[in-house]
Amino acid sequence: MRKTFNDELNKLHVRFAELGMMVNEAILRATKAFMNHDKILAESVIEKDPVINNCENDLEKMTLELIALYQPVTEDLRDVITILKASSDIERIGDHAVSISHATVNMKGSQRIAEIEIEIAKMGKYVCQMFQSVLDAYMKKNEERALKIAKDDLFLDEELRKIRKRCVTIMQEDSESVISGSYYSSVAAYLERIGDYVTNVCEWIVFLKKGEIVELNPNTRKY
């Protein structure tokens, strides 16, 4: 019985890793497409989103079946619950990568503002690094690293405030930049939300190690 449970749990971990890799690719491609004004690359992110959704659905089904069949307790139960909850947060990150890609497609031909794109590129790179780091922290069950990654999210909150403020100023000075400014603000918000979901995953890593549900960065989170 124990061996069978371990085999099924390993399958869960493999499927979770597949989800993480797919979403990581989606973030990388979505941010690259936006900065390079690459409509075709953006559309490829949108087209692959159903695969990510199906993977998350598979994980939900597998975890619930594992709980029903084996009724795990203590650390085993925490392991299964963490996969169930973290996979949902990671799937939402994929949704935001799709939203960025839609913005890329819809913004094609609009006026570009170089100084704002530089800041968004900075956010995009930071988000990609955060997501890769949290996947690694999860695989290694590294609580200390998870706590550090959650603190890194504060940078994205500040960047979002800066970009929104600058976009408003530019739009007030140049009416032709209104459409572009709106898209920039939206994309920056999507990137900031990815950071929030990364923080959620950090919370599940802490739960995995301690068995306690904690809220990290509670004063900056928005739902």
Neighbouring CB atoms inside 10 A of 129's CB total 12
- So what's the pLDDT on residue 223? 43
Handedness of CA 194, 200, 204, 210 (dihedral sign): positive
**Domain that includes residue 60, residue range:** 1-210
In a domain, 203, yes or no: yes
pLDDT in tens, 156-166: 999 999 999 99
DSSP assignments along 56-121, one per residue: HHHHHHHHHHHHHHH---HHHHHHHHHHHHHHHHHHHHHHHHHHHHHHHHHHTTS---HHHHHHHH
In a domain, 186, yes or no: yes
Q: What is the 3-state secondary structure (H, E, C) of 205-216?
A: HHHHHHCCCCCC
pLDDT in tens, 47-61: 999 999 999 999 999
By percentage, how much of the chain surpasses pLDDT 90?
A: 87
Structure tokens, 55: 């993977």
The arithmetic mean of pLDDT across residues 125-131, rounded, is 97
pLDDT in tens, 95-125: 999 999 999 999 877 888 999 999 999 999 9
In a domain, 216, yes or no: no
Question: Exposure of 163 by Cβ count < 10 A (0-12 exposed, 13-18 middle, 19+ buried)?
Answer: buried
The arithmetic mean of pLDDT across residues 176-196, rounded, is 95
The arithmetic mean of pLDDT across residues 121-133, rounded, is 96
In a domain, 220, yes or no: no
The arithmetic mean of pLDDT across residues 10-37, rounded, is 96
Q: Give me the number of domains the chain comprises.
A: 1
Structure tokens, 179: 């459409």
Check which CATH number belongs to the domain holding 46 and give it: 1.20.58.220
In a domain, 222, yes or no: no
C-alpha to C-alpha distance for 81 and 202, rounded to whole angstroms: 14
Q: Which residue has the higher pLDDT, 73 or 16?
A: 16
pLDDT bin (cut points 50, 70, 90) of residue 2 is confident
First to last CA, the chain: 41
In a domain, 51, yes or no: yes
- So what's the pLDDT on residue 138? 95
In a domain, 8, yes or no: yes
In a domain, 223, yes or no: no
